[in-house]
Every structure is written in structure tokens, then in C-alpha cells.
Amino acid sequence: MATTVVPLPAILCLHGAGTNSSIFQLQARRIVATLQSSFRFIFIDAPFGSPPGPGVHPAFTDLGPFYRWHCDSNVIDEFDITLEDVERERWQVRDLIASHIKSERATGGPGIVGVMAFSQGTRVATGLCLDKELSRGIEFAILIGGTFPSLELTASTPSHDDGYESGGMIWFEYDAYDKGLESLYRSPSSSSSSLTGSSSSPTPSTAPSSADGNEWNIYPVNIPSIHVQGTADPWRSEGDRLRETYYNPDLTTVLKFRGRHQVPTGTPEANIIAESVISTYEASM
């Protein structure tokens, strides 16, 4: 009798603006290597063409074409784009993500249980976590080099931009393979993880709640999240704002490394991220 092989749980991977899935796969190669025995990684391309982003040249010059995710209403006054264009792009991205989630559910395995994203991709990943339909089955989010605000996938999702006016693509220079990366260290935040990647964050079933049961609902996202940010990232305040605006702090792990706006590529960093991912996923089961 043939043995049925159940696919490993999958992590959906969303790249930054002006890059693509192949570049993100290279950037995250050590994280993937440390977790490949536990998860499958599904790297997808955003649907809209884009100029190459910073850090693409010269290392990734030959890896085009390059893509971006959808714009939001904040850029209507800055670019030649209408509200109808924004809505059309939004639904194209939602349909793309939904098709991958549906396809994975059809395999008979656990399907997509997590999302890993970098830069602009973290805004889309947050939109996914805010989507009540698509986020079913998402047990954790890995957000690297987060930026703000979220890019919602449905028009009905509450906005949390607080007057933020510089949405869309963000360009700046950084070295995607900074050789000066050092070990991750404990963030000053009380919700940060230690060097071992351990976290005392409770799962949704054990987290504290108010007497009337409403306290747990004040946070838009009640999915465990791991936030990875370089200490020299010029947009680290946006990563903090993304975390503090949307994610339940009782389900949040913060990992900081000495680097800029980049995916950490060192083995020590990858091991700590992997430990956090596995412990977070196991706690949700």
C-alpha cells in the first residue's frame, strides 16, 4: 500500500518593493535553510512592475523583472493614480494571495500557516493578518524591516494611518549583504525575546483578558508575530509603529540585530529567528 506523504506546513513569503521573489529567496536563504525541515516556503511575486529598488544593483541586476505591491490612498495626490486604481490594485493583490492559500489548502496538508515578509511586504502581510477571511489558519507572522502603515486587502478594513502621508514605495540606500552583522541581542522592549529566541508571550487561548472579555479585542491583530529589525535601519521607527499599531503586544516577539534595512543573513541570526518561529508555531498547536 502506497504511503501518503502529508506536505509540510507552508510559509507565504512577500518581498519588498522593487525586488521579486527570487531576490527575497536569496536574502532569506539562511532563515529558510534553518527551517526547511519544518516548513515549506512559498515565495511569490507582487503583481505590479516596478523600477529596481535600492540595493538591487549591482548584486541583483540580472534577476529582474522587479515588482511592487499595491498602492494605498495616501499616494493619490503624489502620483497619477485614482481611488479606482487603488481599489483595483488592492483586489488584485488579495486575489493573488487568496489563490495561493486556496491552492495550499487543497493539498490535504496543513496549508499556509505563516507569513514572512520584508519591507513593503510587511505592510501587505499585516493586511493579510487583518483580513478575517484570509487570515484563518495563519498562526504566526515574521516581519523583517517593517514599514508603516498596513496595506489593507479589503476596503472595509479599518485604517490606522493617523495622517501618514508618505505611503507607497520607499527608496533608500542599504547594503543587502552587510558583512558587519553581529548577533541578535535583547531589545529594550519588555516584549522582546532573549538571545535564545525564547518568548514568554502567551498563545491566544492563554493570554490575559479583561473581566468582560473585551480587552483581547482592542488589538487589530491577535496572531503571534516576530518582528526583526536592524538597529541602524533608518525606518526602524516605522517598524515599531507597525508593531505597536496593529499587533497584540502579549503575542509579540522582537528581535533586533546590528544592521540596516535588510534581511539578516548571518547563521547566528537565522538560528535565533528559527527558534522563535518554531516555538511560536508549537505554542499555537
Whether 233 is catalytic is yes
What secondary structure letter does DSSP report for 61?
Answer: G
Contact present, 149 and 123 (Cβ < 8 Å): yes
Pick from 161, 139, 142: which is nearest to 246 by CA? 161
Whether 119 is catalytic is yes
DSSP-H helix ranges across 77-167: 83-105, 120-130
Backbone angles phi, psi at 252, to 5 degrees: -110, 135
Q: How many CA atoms lie within 13 A of 180 on its CB side?
A: 8
Pick from 221, 207, 70, 233: which is nearest to 144 by CA? 233
- Catalytic site residue from 15, 70, 227, 261: 261
- Catalytic site residue from 119, 191, 193, 276: 119
- Catalytic site residue from 233, 250, 276, 279: 233
Q: And the C-alpha cell for 67?
A: 515588482
Burial class (CB in 10 A: 0-12, 13-18, 19+), 37: exposed
Q: And the C-alpha cell for 85?
A: 486604481
230-241 residues labelled b (16+ CB within 10 A) or e (exposed): beebebbebbbb
177-205 residues labelled b (16+ CB within 10 A) or e (exposed): ebeebeebeebebebbbbeebebebeebe
Whether 160 is catalytic is no
How do strand 40-44 and strand 225-230 relate by DSSP bridges? unpaired
Contact present, 173 and 55 (Cβ < 8 Å): yes
How do strand 40-44 and strand 48-49 relate by DSSP bridges? unpaired
- Which residues have a catalytic role annotated? 119, 233, 261
